[in-house]
């Protein structure tokens, strides 16, 4: 099956020509190009998704997770890490178990990767919407219990907290990606965390120490340490275009886009829940009762468009939503478009809007695509 595209982003480079898919895999690239501006890119990979299409993953029943997977795939995200906000540990453990059950089901849509625990080991001064009553100081026993409750691929923590180093060691030993976030770390603490094994920063600039020219914090270290992948929310509300361009210029080929999507994603304005907390979607932004940003409501493809509109090159922006997050997780079977790889593909028009999505070569219905 030919896709009828004029070109594709193939393993991080532009490749003119059409793409052929056979038996669920990419069979060939660089074939005689079709007319028109439609292009093919790898399926997008989201490292931070709290919900979608009215479903909050912290409380979702096993069967409701299928709604998230289908809706995300229609928007071009073909693999995602379900994210869990700081919560009562028993509820977090129960959510992890439900996600494991959902992952085992043969549900069409986005691949369900391991969970992203965003908390509870966060800095009290940088909690944002995370409920302070459920924040915890570093506790290896609690962390081990959560890791045993279900598959976890990413944990975000504040590395400057006393005892956080032991958590980093435990996570690395268990093969879990360690991200720094919701952190008040100064430069020395941030550098020490990277030296110890922190390899990502969760939603750069937001809920963290920043870019002070005499007192740099976590954001500055993330942009200057080549081992670190800074992730950004490019929904038009969390990060200004200049700061997005700064990240792309300082960390070319190693920054990633995430959504921080909530149940409000793809839904009309109104009230929603985020791990049980009341939030409201209005004018494209999700806010808590105090008026602060509380997650987001834009699909990952909008982050690609936002980056391009900010002046980032198309191939770089696509990579930030595909190959970079996949590489960070060590997953070579997602986020790639190349001969022999599973055909998780997204077709984009001239406006970088999704026109068609394939997951393992099978088409996803685009009629309800949210942009």
Domains of the chain in sequence order: 60-332 (3.20.20.140)
**pLDDT score, position 370:** 32
**pLDDT score, position 364:** 86
DSSP assignment letter at 125: G
Q: What is the pLDDT of residues 287-320, one digit of tens each?
A: 999 999 999 999 999 999 999 999 999 999 999 9
- Residues 232, 256 contacting (CB under 8 angstroms): yes
Q: What is the pLDDT of residues 33-60, one digit of tens each?
A: 988 889 999 999 999 999 999 999 999 9
Q: What is the pLDDT of residues 118-145, one digit of tens each?
A: 999 999 999 999 999 999 999 999 999 9
For the chain of 371 residues, list the mean pLDDT of each consecutive stretch of 10. 97 96 97 93 98 98 97 98 98 98 92 98 97 98 98 98 98 98 98 98 97 96 98 97 98 98 98 96 96 97 98 98 97 94 97 97 61 30
**pLDDT score, position 138:** 98
Rounded Cα distance between 212 and 222, Å, is 13
**pLDDT score, position 36:** 87
Following DSSP, what letter does each residue of 154-192 receive, concatenated?
A: EEEE-TTSTTHHHHHHHHHHTTPEEEE-SB--BHHHHHH
**pLDDT score, position 371:** 30
Rounded to the nearest angstrom, the gap between the alpha carbon of residue 145 and the centroid of all alpha carbons in its chain is 24
**pLDDT score, position 333:** 87
Rounded Cα distance between 224 and 275, Å, is 33
Query: Would the pTM count as exceeding 0.85?
Result: yes
Give the residue numbers marked as catalytic.
Answer: 260
């Amino acid at each position: 099956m030919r896709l009828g595209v004029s070109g594709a982003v193939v393993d991080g480079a532009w490749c003119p020509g059409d793409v052929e898919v056979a038996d669920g895999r990419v069979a060939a690239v660089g074939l005689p190009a079709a007319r028109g501006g439609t292009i093919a890119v790898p399926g997008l990979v989201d490292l931070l998704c709290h919900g979608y299409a009215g479903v909050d993953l912290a409380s979702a029943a096993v069967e409701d997770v299928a709604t998230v997977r289908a809706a995300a795939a229609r928007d071009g995200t073909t693999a995602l890490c379900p994210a869990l906000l700081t919560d009562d540990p028993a509820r977090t453990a129960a959510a992890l178990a439900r996600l494991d059950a959902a992952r085992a089901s043969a549900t069409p849509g986005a691949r369900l990767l391991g969970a992203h625990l965003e908390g509870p080991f966060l800095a009290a001064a940088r909690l944002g919407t995370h409920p302070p009553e459920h924040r915890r100081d570093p506790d290896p026993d609690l962390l081990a219990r959560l890791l045993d409750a279900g598959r976890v691929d990413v944990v975000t923590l504040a590395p400057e907290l006393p005892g956080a180093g032991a958590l980093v060691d435990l996570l690395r030993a268990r093969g879990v990606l360690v991200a720094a976030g919701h952190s008040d770390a100064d430069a020395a603490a941030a550098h020490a965390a990277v030296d110890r094994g922190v390899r990502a920063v969760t939603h750069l600039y937001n809920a963290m120490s920043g870019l002070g020219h005499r007192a740099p914090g976590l954001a500055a270290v993330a942009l200057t340490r080549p081992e670190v992948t800074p992730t950004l929310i490019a929904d038009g509300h969390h990060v200004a275009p200049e700061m997005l361009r700064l990240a792309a210029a300082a960390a070319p080929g190693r920054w990633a886009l995430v959504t921080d999507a909530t149940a409000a994603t793809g839904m009309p304005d109104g009230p929603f829940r985020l791990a049980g907390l009341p939030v409201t979607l209005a004018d494209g932004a999700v806010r808590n009762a105090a008026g602060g940003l509380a997650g987001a409501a834009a699909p990952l493809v909008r982050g690609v468009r936002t980056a391009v509109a900010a002046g980032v090159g198309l191939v770089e922006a696509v990579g930030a939503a595909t190959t970079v997050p996949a590489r960070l997780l060590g997953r070579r079977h997602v986020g790639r478009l190349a001969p022999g790889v599973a055909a998780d593909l997204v077709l984009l028009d001239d406006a970088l809007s999704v026109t068609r999505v394939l997951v393992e070569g099978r088409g996803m219905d685009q009629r309800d695509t949210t942009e």
